[in-house]
């Protein structure tokens, strides 16, 4: 079964591992280096966020935008910016 280009996945395929494994999975997804059910879950969640934020008119467009952000490496750049953020002390 396929919904808007997203294949059906089992719970086992979406299950994570330990913190180190999950961090590696997240980095690979955000870098556009991995495919599969876990990436698809990130795409769907990002797509919904894009629709709610008014950046995409529907889930189909949101999915396209999410894939573009992941495949381009821009999603990983945002993670790195957050990791390196240092608030100004007043």
Q: Average per-residue pLDDT in the chain?
A: 93
Domain boundaries, the chain: 35-81
| SS3 of the chain | CEECCEECCCHHHHCCCCHHHHHHHHHHHHCCCCCCHHHHHHHHHHHHHHHHCCCCCCHHHHHHHHHHHHHHCHHHHHHHHHHHCCCCCC
Instruction: Say what the pLDDT of residue 1 is.
Output: 58
Residue 2: pLDDT band with limits 50, 70, 90: confident
- pTM for the model stands at 0.85
- Per-residue model confidence as pLDDT tens digits over 28-64: 999 888 899 999 999 999 999 999 999 999 999 999 9
Instruction: Say what the pLDDT of residue 77 is.
Output: 95
């Amino acid at each position: 079964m396929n919904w808007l280009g997203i294949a059906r996945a089992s719970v086992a395929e979406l299950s994570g591992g330990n913190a180190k494994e999950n961090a590696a999975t997240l980095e690979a997804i955000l870098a556009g280096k991995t495919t599969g059910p876990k990436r698809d879950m990130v795409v769907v969640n990002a797509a919904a966020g894009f629709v709610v934020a008014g950046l995409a008119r529907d889930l189909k467009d949101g999915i396209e935008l999410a894939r573009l952000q992941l495949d381009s490496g821009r999603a990983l750049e945002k993670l790195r910016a957050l990791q390196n953020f240092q608030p100004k002390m007043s």
